[in-house]
Structures are given as C-alpha cells and as structure tokens.
C-alpha cells in the first residue's frame, strides 16, 4: 500500500466521520462546522484524483459561500435546541478542532505531492490525454449528464424558495409580511389627498386666506 492509498483512506475516514457528526450533534452550529469539514475532506479526495477544478470549486463555492448561507439560515430560523446566546467562545473549541483537522489534511496533500494518480476516465481517449479536466467536465456535463444537471438546478431553486418561506413564518415577537395582501393594496386605501387654501402673510405678519 503506497502513500497515496493511505492518504485516501485517512481522508475518506475523516469525511465519513464528519458526515455522521453533522446529523449527530444537537447544536446546529456544530453541525454546520462538521459539514464544512466534510466538504473540505471531499475536496482533498478530488485533488488526489487530479480533479483540481472540482476540488477548488467545492472549497470556494460550498465552503466559502453556501456554508455561510447555512449559518445565516440557522441564525434566522432560531432552531436552537439548547441554551444558546452565550457568545462566540462557546463554539471556539469545535472551530479549532475543525481547523486543526483541515490543516492536517493540507499537510497530507503536500506529502502526496505530484505522485502519479489515476486520471479521470473519459469516453474519448484523445480528449483525456490532451485536454484539461475542466474541458472534460464541460464535455461530460453538457452532453451525457445534461438532464441530471438541469434536475439538480430545479431542486436547488425549490430549496431556496422553501428557505425563504420558512423565514417568513409567523413567530411571537417578530414582524411578518403577507405578500398577497401587499399586492392587493390600492392607492385610495393608503393615500388621502387634502386640498388646502393658499395663504399669504400680510404686512403685520398675520396669515390671510387667498
């Protein structure tokens, strides 16, 4: 067993453990941090397979953007199951542990170096030999996997709409909006035009009707 196989099994074990922790923690913030570690470990696995584009996209898009939105949703929904609002220091140990594991995985990838890993397969051997993996992904995504790609886009759109609807639910002590009532508003119900006679000041300063 070479060093690359050892690195693969270690990264896979970390990814599986953190994935189980996502659904095991009671604290939603701890679950989000575990999901960040899961995404990062998966990105390291992509790098081992020489799929650099997928690994970088997973880090930049999911960890850098989507997970931040997850944190915002957790805070907006207020889905705390334990006494919260004790400050950032309560989550600091978990954040340090996640950062330490991510740093260890980076060192592990540096140890792998530029070893000969098996390239991603392709239906066209010439394309696999001369094109980059970005070209390979584009060719596969918009030809053979076009329907699953569009289906995933629709599912993500529905998820975004549902998340917005959840934030608009009525809760005690919060202000809510009813979009259907706002659309039916008429100008005559909200605005009243009042006609007033113009006035001018006389020489002694007293207003006079004109």
Number of C-beta neighbours around residue 139 at 10 A: 15
Write the Ramachandran bin of 78: left for phi over 0, alpha for psi from -120 to 50, otherwise beta. Answer: left
- Dihedral sign, CA of 54, 59, 63, 69? negative
pTM for the whole structure: 0.51
pLDDT at position 95: 75
The class that CATH gives domain 1-119 is mainly alpha
* Cβ contact 39:63 at 8 Å: yes
**How far is the first Cα of the chain from the last one, in angstroms, to the nearest whole number?**
101
Burial of 22 by CB count in 10 Å (0-12 exposed, 13-18 middle, 19+ buried)? middle
Domain boundaries, the chain: 1-119, 128-167
pLDDT tens track, the chain, 210 positions: 687 888 888 888 888 898 888 888 887 778 888 888 888 888 888 888 877 888 888 888 887 777 777 777 776 665 554 454 455 567 678 778 878 887 887 777 776 654 544 444 444 454 455 567 778 778 888 888 888 889 988 998 998 888 777 776 666 776 777 777 888 888 777 788 888 777 777 666 666 655
Per-state percent for the chain, helix, strand, coil, to nearest 5: 65, 5, 30
What sign does the dihedral 19-20-23-24 (CA atoms) show?
negative
| Interatomic CA distance for residues 63 and 22, integer angstroms | 15
């Amino acid at each position: 067993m070479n060093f690359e196989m050892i690195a693969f099994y270690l990264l896979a074990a970390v990814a599986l453990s953190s994935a189980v922790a996502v659904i095991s923690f009671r604290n939603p913030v701890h679950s989000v941090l575990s999901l960040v570690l899961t995404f990062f470990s998966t990105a390291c696995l992509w790098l081992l397979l020489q799929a650099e584009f997928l690994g970088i996209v997973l880090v930049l898009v999911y960890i850098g953007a989507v997970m931040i939105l997850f944190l915002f949703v957790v805070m907006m929904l207020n889905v705390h199951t334990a006494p919260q609002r004790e400050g950032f220091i309560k989550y600091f140990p978990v954040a340090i542990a996640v950062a330490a594991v991510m740093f260890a995985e980076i060192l592990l990838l540096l140890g792998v170096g530029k070893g000969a890993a098996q390239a991603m397969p392709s239906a066209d051997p010439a394309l696999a030999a001369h094109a980059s993996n970005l070209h390979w992904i584009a060719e596969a995504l918009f030809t053979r996997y076009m329907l699953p790609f569009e289906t995933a886009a629709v599912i993500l759109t529905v998820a975004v709409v549902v998340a917005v609807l959840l934030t608009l639910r009525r809760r005690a002590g919060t202000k809510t909006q009813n979009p259907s009532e706002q659309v039916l508003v008429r100008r005559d119900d909200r605005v009243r035009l009042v006609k007033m006679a113009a006035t001018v000041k006389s020489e002694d300063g007293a207003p006079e009707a004109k």
